[in-house]
Structure 1
């Protein structure tokens, strides 16, 4: 699944009374997604990622949202599977990429330039047309080195590691970072990290509920490979303390800030150490 909901599903989907039942719900959502694609009705929200290691750079996760006709703001988790079924997930991925590139360009030269993390589906791995489009963005200088990172779910690419690594290496040559989310300390996951060109990982949330040694094992392995570690869905100060003592690099979640439709978080005042 693309477009992480960020673990912050504040806005819940409640289908209209006339659309009860899975089939009706899916039809309603399919029509809504198609209309949103045609009329550019999607929105981007942002959730800050705050450093635990003393840096104050402005890192944000981009989160896709869609406003329904009744005014509800739907999270990506509500409609992404429908977009996949409609065969438009690639176009949706490209739309979010375009928005991110534009936002980064608009912030160029400001005192605190933004770095955006954008969820992508595994469709990109073999999408030559979209890769060509990204290369053109890079050639014309619209992609700034280190300012844009594409995020992929481990479960989406685990059976396509060869094509994933080719894609990741190409992205990094264009200055686009690569991130794998949902990573644990299993032997398979640790082995996967060693075979992919990665700049970041997001840990599996379940690790926070296990022994510290499991979390430290993953973080130590990642750091030995030059990979920075982000902890998503952080909801309380006790998790912050555990992550800091284990060496995690960044935290993201409602404890830091809920997703907002702006980029005004004060990173200088909120470095967590």
Structure 2
């Protein structure tokens, strides 16, 4: 099994927009077809990742094909709408034999091997070995132990980033962001521990820790006379947890918090992949008077028609479009989401706003709120001056 990931595809998307980057992916798919054996099974596995299954091939043949594909992409120049981009492959190779437990294990091994190739600089292939398996297992065990300690001993912390109205709408809103403290009290970012948490089945417990401690922070602010609204991220695991809504309901009652003080957000990808569950979850939140948001909207080139099935209060436009706001495709996504919001009665948030250059476009299209380092980086304290507005 070959697991192939083009390097820096976010940069390509920022340069070419979604439509242009999809043309690059189509060209990469054709490159793989042209250079692979006729009996190979090729697929676009997820996002920008491709996978190839080789039938009746030995390891030497798989490694030779990986090198051939690596070189072919490294030599390729993609000319899209007057712009030229290049990329390279990080390739993971996982042997499939009688000791391979199932397809999931083979994919995990290939993905881990790809990660090693990427960490070593990319533009290369790496074959998964027993040494890799032991190293990954050891690293996962160490991280899982840290996570279990963090849950038991409150070794997590929360930071907050303001979400500010572009149209002077009243209220103070913050995104709640999770961090973990390592043994040296250094902050560990979610990207470093969420995969291990998922593998260990800890995501629901972590989400509940965040919600419970966010509720405490809301109560502390209420004592000071401030009524805030928190945006709280939920994992797909919590979305699929049958007890989550009842647990949130009990928490709100015990804390005497009104539901609309919390906005629960999941990624667009999680919503699309779990559409029926998401619909039921959103309806349940509405009964609790909580708000519901989708994050990273427009990150993929699929239609927004899935929104016909969901009751949504906020849509957060993916940061790639905000960073690439002068690109025609990104402006089209921003306009489409904003117009959909106006017609359907939900509000829109531009995330990852890094500088004021995009504000005129966001204002022009009627985006309601902005969030990002331009306003303030995530901080321990909630001290943003909302009277200054988003400009």
The equivalent residue for 1:149 is 263
- Bigger relative contact order (CA 8 A; separation at least 6): 1
State yes or no: 1:77 paired with 2:191: yes
SS in 2 for 1:107: helix
Check whether the contact 2:262–2:290 (CA below 8 A) recurs between aligned residues.
yes
How much has 1:207 moved relative to structure 2?
2.1
How much has 1:161 moved relative to structure 2?
0.8
Give the one of 174, 187, 190 matched to 2:304.
190
Give the one of 200, 209, 221 matched to 1:107.
221
Give the one of 251, 255, 258 matched to 2:370.
251
Check whether the contact 2:163–2:174 (CA below 8 A) recurs between aligned residues.
yes
Q: Deviation string for 1:148-197 (max 9, x for gaps)?
A: 01010111221211111111111111021110011119784421222111
Structure with the higher fraction of residues in helix conformation: 2
Give the ranges of 4+ consecutive aligned residues of structure 1 lying more than 6 Å apart after TM superposition.
Answer: none
Structure 1 residues 23 and 141: CA distance shift in structure 2, 3 A: closer
**Which structure's CA Rg is the greater one?**
2
Give the one of 40, 43, 62 matched to 2:154.
40
How much has 1:126 moved relative to structure 2?
3.2
Check whether the contact 1:55–1:271 (CA below 8 A) recurs between aligned residues.
no
CA distance in structure 2 between the partners assigned to 1:49 and 1:21 by the alignment = 41
The answer for unaligned runs of 5 or more in structure 1 is 1-19
How much has 1:84 moved relative to structure 2?
0.8
CA distance in structure 1 between the partners assigned to 2:209 and 2:281 by the alignment = 19
TM-score scaled by structure 2?
Answer: 0.61
The equivalent residue for 1:236 is 355
TM-score scaled by structure 1?
Answer: 0.85
CA distance in structure 2 between the partners assigned to 1:151 and 1:115 by the alignment = 13
The equivalent residue for 1:271 is 389
Q: Deviation string for 1:105-163 (max 9, x for gaps)?
A: 22226444111000001222332323222222344563314210101011122121111
The equivalent residue for 1:224 is 343
Structure 1 residues 130 and 253: CA distance shift in structure 2, 3 A: same
